[in-house]
Structure 1
Amino acid sequence: MDEFALIRRYFAALTPNASGVALGIGDDAALLMPTPGHALVVTTDTLIEGLHFARDAEPADIAWKALAVNLSDLAAMGAQPRWFTLALTLPQADADWLAAFAQGLQALADRYNMALIGGDTTRGALSITITALGEVPQGDALRRDGARVGDAVCVTGTLGDAALGLRLGYAANGFLRERLDRPMPRIEVGIALRRLAHAAIDLSDGLAGDLQHVLEASGVGAHINVDALPLSAPFLQFADPGQRRSLPLGGGDDYELCVCLPAECIELACAKVLMPLTVIGRIVAEPGLHWVDADGATIAQSVAAYRHFT
C-alpha cells in the first residue's frame, strides 16, 4: 500500500473531529484554533531503532513511549496536551506491526483526548518523530529559569527503575520493564503545580544532568541528599549496591518531574498532586550541584548524564 492508504487504514482513528482543529489531516497543513488566553506549547522528540529502543521491541510499546516522552516535556511546562503530529519512517509496511503501533499510540493519546493532526510517512531505517502541542494559560507556564534560593527540590515517583529495567533486559521484573517501555507522563502533576512551583524539568537524561539545566538557567546551585532519593521496592530488590546510587542519579529514562517549590508550599503541593512527591534537597546560592548524605556531609559522587555526540 502507498503512504496515503497506510494513513487511512491505521491512523484514521487518531484523527477525530477534535476541539480546536479547524482543518486536520488531508490538506497541506493543519489549521488550529488555540484556546483564547493560552500560550501554545510545542515540543519534538525522535526515537531511532537501535538507539532508543531495541530491534525486537513491541511496536505498541514503541508508539506509547514515542508519544510519552513528548508529553513529559509538556508536563514539565504545566501544559494540557491537545494535538500531535507523527513522522514515521519505515523499512517496510508490515500490517501487523503497524496495527500494533497504532494501537499503542491511540492508547496514550486517548488518555488526554489528543488528536493526530498531520505528519509524514516515508521508507527508510525505522524512526519515529512526534511533535506534541499543548496549551497553558498565559503567564502560568512552568520553566527552568525560576528556581530561587531556599526552594525545596522535589521529584515525583521513583528514580532508576527504567534504567535498571534496561540493564536487566528480558530478565527484568515486570514493574521495571513497564517503567522502561511505557513511562507515564506526569501531566496532572504539572498542571497542579502551576502558580506553585518556581521551576520544573522532566527527568529524561537522569537527575544529575537534568537538574543541572535548571541550576544553570536559574543562576543557583543545589544540595541534594542522595539518601533521600525515592526508590521502588523492585529497584531495591534487583539493583546491585553500585547501581542503587548511580542509576537514580544518572540512569535516565525516568520521565518523572523535578520541581523547585517554596518551602511553605510543600504540604499544599503534596496534597494537590495525588502521588508521591519527595523532597530530595534545596536550592542554594553557591553555584553547582552538590551531593550530601542524610547528615548533610558533602560526598564525592561522579555522575555522567546521557548526552548525544559524546
Structure 2
Amino acid sequence: MSGEFNLIEKYFVGRQQQRKDVLLAAGDDCALVQVPQGLSVAISTDTLVAGTHFLPDANPAWVAHKALASNISDLAAMGATPAWVSFALTMPEPDEAWLAPFCDAFFQLADYFGIQLIGGDTTKGPLSLTLTVQGLVAPEKALRRDGASVGDWIYVTGDLGDSKAGLDVILNRELERKPFASELEQRHYLSTPRVLVGQALLGLASAAIDISDGLISDLPHILQRSQVGASIDVSKLPVSNELVQFVGNPEVALQYALTSGEEYELCFTVPEQNQGAIESALAHCGAKVSCIGQIRPQGTFDLHLHGEALNWSLSGYDHFK
C-alpha cells in the first residue's frame, strides 16, 4: 500500500465504535448514513489553514481540538445533535510525529460528542484541514438567524475576549510575560462547543449564531436576516478576570469582548415570554449565560456603557484582511 493509505489505515480507520445510523463508513467511495424519521441533517464546512488559523508549529493536539470544536459549534448554533464528520487533510509530507497527537485529540473530542468520522481525503500540499460536520435536528425547531423580533432579549454564553488575548500571545511572544498569558493562549485553541445549550434553546430562542468572527460582526448577521436592530449594554458583556488583568484596563477588555473572533460561544435572542424559562432550561448545561441587550427596530445599532452612548469604531475578524 502507498504511504497515503498506510496513514489512513493507521490513524483514521477503526478508531471509533460504529454509530447505529452509519451503514457504511470510511473505506468506500461514499459513506452511507440513515436519517431518523422526522429529522433533518444540518451541515457545515470549515477550513483551517496553517499560517492563517494556526501557526505551523502549534501543538497538533490543540489544532485538532480547534478544528473539530469550531465545526461542532456551528451545529450547536442550530440546536443540532452532532452525528458525523468528514475530514480532508492536506500536508506537505507524511508526518507521523504530528499526526499521532493530532488524531488522539481529534477522536477524543469526537467521541465525547458522539460524532463519527465517516470519510475524507488526504493529499499533498500546504498544511490545511477541511471538515464537514453533520448533525440532526427537527426542521421546524432548528435555531436560525432570521427569527429575532423587536423586544427579544440578547444573550451570550461564556466569557468573551479571551480568544483574542490568546491570539495576541501567539503572534507576539513578548506578551508571554503578561499575567495569565499561557491560560489565554490555551483558551484560544480549546473552546467548548455549546451543544447542550443549543439543544436546550430549542423552542425558547428565536434566533442564534456562534461567535466565530467577533460579537460585533456576528450579531449583525442575525439583525440583517431578521430585519431588526439592537441595543447593547456593554457593561453586561461577560469578561474574565484573567482577560482584565492581561490587558490591564476594564474598558479595553470590553472592546476585546466585542471584537474577539474564534470564541465559539453562542449569541442568541429570546422573546420576552420565554425569558423566565431560560435560567432553568440552561441550569444543567455547564455554561454561563449573560443578557447583554435587546432587539430594537431595524436601522438601530447602539452600544452604551452605564447609560452613556459609545462611539467606538470596532470590527471583528475578516478572513480577507
TM range (shorter): over 0.9
Q: Distance in 1 between matches of 2:319 and 2:201?
A: 31
Shift of 1:194: 0.2
Paired AA for residue 97 in structure 1: W
Please report the TM-score for the alignment, with normalisation by the length of structure 2: 0.93
User: In the alignment, which residue of structure 1 is the partner of 2:265?
Assistant: 256
The equivalences for 1:1-310 within 5 A come to: 2-169=3-170, 171=176, 172-241=180-249, 243-274=252-283, 275-295=287-307, 297-310=308-321
CA contact (8 A) 2:227 2:298 kept: no
Structural RMSD (CA):
1.4
CA contact (8 A) 1:64 1:105 kept: yes
Paired AA for residue 285 in structure 1: P
CA deviation vs aligned residue, 1:54-78 (integer Å, no higher than 9, x gap): 1210111111111111101000000
Q: Distance in 1 between matches of 2:70 and 2:232?
A: 25
Identity of aligned residues (%): 43
Paired AA for residue 164 in structure 2: A
Shift of 1:15: 4.4
Residues 69-78 or 256-265, more deviating: 256-265
Please report the TM-score for the alignment, with normalisation by the length of structure 1: 0.96
Q: Gaps (5+ residues) in structure 1?
A: none
How many residues of Structure 1 are paired with residues of Structure 2 in the alignment?
309
CA contact (8 A) 2:47 2:130 kept: yes
Shift of 1:215: 0.2
The 3-state SS of whatever aligns with 1:308 is: coil
Residues 226-235 or 162-171, more deviating: 162-171
Q: Distance in 2 between matches of 1:176 and 1:266?
A: 32
Q: Distance in 2 between matches of 1:288 and 1:125?
A: 43
Paired AA for residue 244 in structure 2: L
CA contact (8 A) 2:42 2:75 kept: yes
Q: Distance in 1 between matches of 2:128 and 2:298?
A: 42
CA deviation vs aligned residue, 1:216-270 (integer Å, no higher than 9, x gap): 0000000001111001111111113363132111121111000000123223212
Paired AA for residue 21 in structure 1: V
Q: Distance in 2 between matches of 1:116 and 1:15?
A: 8
Paired AA for residue 122 in structure 2: T
Paired AA for residue 128 in structure 2: S
The 3-state SS of whatever aligns with 2:13 is: helix
